[in-house]
Amino acid sequence: MRDIMDNKLDPWSSSNITDYSKLFEEFGISPFENILPEIPSPHKYMRRRIIFGHRDYEQIAEAMRTGAPFSVMDGFMPSGKVHLGHKMVMDQIVWHQEKGASAFVGIADREAFSVRGFSWQKCREIGVEEYILSLIALGFKPEGLIYFQSGCGSVKDLAFELGAKVNFSELSAIYGFSGETSLSHMLSVATQAADILQPQLEEFGGSKPVVVPVGPDQDPHLRLTRGLAGKMNMFRVEERETAEGGKYLSVRGKGAPREALQELKKRIPGKVKLYEEHIDVLQTPDYAFLERFVLQINQPERRNYFMTQIQEIATFANAAKPPEFSEYEKYFVFKRVWKTTGKILEEVVAEVAAEFDGYAFIPPASTYHRFMSGLQGGKMSSSIPDSHIALTDDPKEGAKKVKRAKTGGCITLEEQKKLGGKPDECSVFELMLFHLIEDDEELLEIREECIYGTRMCGSCKQLAAEKMQEFLKDHQEKRELAREQLDEYRIIYKK
């Protein structure tokens, strides 16, 4: 078994992680099942624990519940055939877009150029013919943005700025870079950080939660970007305590223009103290304070969102009748008021930072999904055709691959009936779990029949092969429709 405690996660190799629980300890990834109850109508990957971990997904779940702005961002290196592993990421992008996210998809041609040595023309051909057509066929809406890194000026400019905040020693510690690593490869890393932060630029609506769905091998990019987000920000908002144990909010602005601090002080009502490089908000927040503070948000959509939140607090407080407040109700109301105060302060801070050419990035959230195993066992590899099914495979050939796939059954029919199969070690059941069967009850029934020896491998293979052939046929028809619709989408190409 590979021990990830002794290895760096590598975004450019075919990872074969076998013990996902170690990721919680080593890299600070949180278990996803703890947040599942907070998510409205969770995706099947969430329900089935295919998505096993996250960073800061709480803010995404809250945005979905409340209607606050948020984004989903991901990217694909145009280096080969689009396959079922890529479909997993595309499914999550489309699902978040359906839940209200503004969607951003980058085609990482800078990465393919620097790491794989592909020409720009080849990157474009693979990017469109493999990834973009399948993404649209799977339901990506025209409102989203698709771009090639080499053609996106905002990404290239931001990558240059980010490069000033990271050095070779940091990249070496995160990625294992050495003296043999090319400068272009290192630049592609800064570009991916820019990809992830781009949805929070002013031209796309400013600061907002952004989620990046990835496999755990891509976590180095998220760790780097989260660190860079903090380094790039003009201000940071902190919760602090007085000597008596009371709480207050402080806006720290090391290196921020004095004029920006003064402007920020003007826009915070109540008791505020301005220092050389920070501001302390000493006003005890209440409903009246929130009503005044929310008016300092300039962006109408964001101001209206917070006004709705404040009204909900007032409705709860009025329904509870203040004289009859229990201690819990008092605590609940204060907690909501305090949380809303912090959120409004972050909005105002972000607007002031933008006015003075600064940033106010929120560290990106992320989800982590299990890798699919290869059809013959072991790891799935794009370089081994029989280990994966490409979304452009001939449907009949895709069905044949399923029928040749490794199962978790016994050697003989008699043993299978007596001992049962092992669906958790079966590539065919995994195909149904990840892609082919939408109904959870149907999937559970197949699993139980396998375990108790009443379902044989042949019937599972036949069912999965039929469903795979049907899916590939339907998907490829939708890809041809997508080809005709390309002009309806916002796609930025290399000029």
- The answer to whether the beta carbons of residues 364 and 211 sit under 8 Å apart is yes
Which CATH number goes with the domain that contains 116?
3.40.50.620
Number of H helices, E strands in the chain: 20, 12
Instruction: Characterize 256-275 residue by residue with b for buried, 16 or more Cβ atoms within 10 angstroms of its Cβ, and e for exposed.
Output: beeebbeebeebbbeebebe
- Claim to verify: residue 22 and residue 57 sit in the same structural domain: yes
Residues 283 and 216 in one domain: no
φ/ψ of residue 266, rounded to 5:
-60, -30
Judging by DSSP bridges, how do beta strands 71-76 and 210-214 pair with one another? Answer: parallel
Residues 220 and 252 both lie in one domain:
no
417 shares a domain with 322: no
297 in the same domain as 204: no
Is the domain of 181 the same as that of 117? yes
Residue 472 to residues 83, 289, 389, 390, 438: CA-CA distances in angstroms? 11, 58, 10, 9, 16
In b/e form, how buried is each residue of 83-99, taking b as 16+ CB within 10 angstroms? bbbbbbbbbbbbbbbeb
- Same-domain pairing of 61 and 127: yes
Is residue 269 domain-shared with residue 307, that is, in the same domain?
A: yes
Residue with tokens 């939140």: 309
Assess whether 162 and 73 both reside in one domain.
Answer: yes
Q: How far is CA 121 from CA 118, 125, 486, in A?
A: 8, 6, 18
Residues 445, 303 share a domain: no
| Full residue range of the structural domain in which residue 316 is found | 236-355
In degrees to the nearest 10, what's the CA dihedral of 136, 372, 25, 192?
-30
Record the pTM.
0.89
> How far does Cα 255 stand from its chain's mean position?
31
* Domain count of the fold of the chain: 3
Q: What would the two tokens of residue 285 be?
A: 């927040």
Residue with the two structure tokens 């044949």: 400
Task: From first to last of the 495 residues of the chain, give the pLDDT tens digit.
Answer: 233 333 444 443 444 555 666 766 677 789 999 999 999 999 999 999 999 999 999 999 999 999 999 999 999 999 999 999 999 999 999 999 999 999 999 999 999 999 899 999 999 999 999 999 999 999 999 999 999 999 999 999 999 999 999 998 888 888 888 888 888 888 989 999 999 999 999 999 999 999 999 998 899 899 999 999 999 999 999 999 988 888 999 999 978 999 999 999 999 999 999 999 999 999 988 888 999 999 999 999 899 999 999 998 888 777 766 555 566 556 667 888 899 999 999 999 999 999 999 999 999 999 999 988 888 877 777 667 778 899 999 999 999 999 998 887 667 677 777 777 788 888 999 999 999 999 999 999 999 888 888 888 888 999 999 999 999 999 999 999 999 999 999 999 998
